[in-house]
Amino acid sequence: MVSVRVRSALLGIVLAAAGVTPALAQDEPRVALSTSVNYSVGDYGTGKDTTLVYVPFTLGVRPIDRLWLSVTIPYIYQSTQNVVLTGGGVAVRGKGSGKLARPAGSTTESGLGDVLAKAAFVLVEEKDFLPEIAPYAKIKFPTADRDRGLGTGEYDETIGVDLSKHLVGGLFGYLGLAYTFIGDPPGTDLRDSFGWSVGAAWAVTTPFSVFAFLEGATAVTPGEADPLEMRVGAEYRLTRALKLTGAVTRGLSDGSADWGVSAGLALRF
């Protein structure tokens, strides 16, 4: 799933493929610019591999101390019409009662994806025995071309919450929960999706950190396996404002890509 997770308390842009991501640093930027290249391959239980390339460009602003607003404009490439991206993950075409039809024409398509708008608010700041708690709301606008199979052509809305806590030394823990209301294209009945992620990050040195996350969700398409995947990676801070991130993902069910890699950068000032 492209999460495209995406979380405001952890590591720069690692989970940005879906949306927002965390940072270990304790700085307080007012503006953040980020992008990443997310490459994945998997058959999602269809028997034929689909290659997805998802490249989001995100602008985030912090107008007041606890509030983050962001807009993501993505480019997407996909090699088959067997699956389609939604705000709650990947939906498999032609499975179960969802009955997402395959568009006519070319099987390989690329272009503008669905634009995402998100607002996150730090409701509770981290204390000795309390994690930081940041609820958020996200809207997926149907800007991707449905006729070319790049999107469902429907709005999706997500509500969620991210929790982060400094545990001991350079070790940080994270938990994310989200529920996505999936828009149904005409003639389909897609399911809403509950997603979660749990992980940890370790600041090895001042500029370098490593992380690992386990992420799952309920399937969008009836008859599809629930997505489940493991993501591991590292972040390196080149300067106070600029970070580089890389990660490798391994799917643990037919509802996820078999494997994926991502690389990105974030500029915060």
Q: Name the CATH superfamily housing domain 31-268.
A: monomeric porin ompg (2.40.160.40)
72-76, 94-98, 174-178, 212-216: range with lowest mean pLDDT: 94-98
State the pLDDT confidence band at 217, using cuts at 50, 70 and 90.
Answer: very high
Q: Tell me, what's the pLDDT at 27?
A: 56
Domain boundaries, the chain: 31-268
Q: Tell me, what's the pLDDT at 98?
A: 53
Query: What is the average per-residue pLDDT within 181-185?
Result: 93
pLDDT above 50 (res 210): yes
pLDDT above 60 (res 182): yes
Q: Tell me, what's the pLDDT at 12?
A: 42
Q: Tell me, what's the pLDDT at 156?
A: 97
Would you put residue 149 in left (φ > 0), alpha (ψ -120 to 50) or beta?
A: left
CB count in 10 Å sphere of residue 106: 9
Q: Tell me, what's the pLDDT at 38?
A: 98
How far CA 134 is from CA of 16, 20, 119, 148, 161, in Å, comes to 16, 12, 10, 36, 5
Distance CA 194, CA 186 (A): 23
The model's pTM: 0.88
> What mean pLDDT value characterizes the chain?
88
State the pLDDT confidence band at 188, using cuts at 50, 70 and 90.
Answer: confident
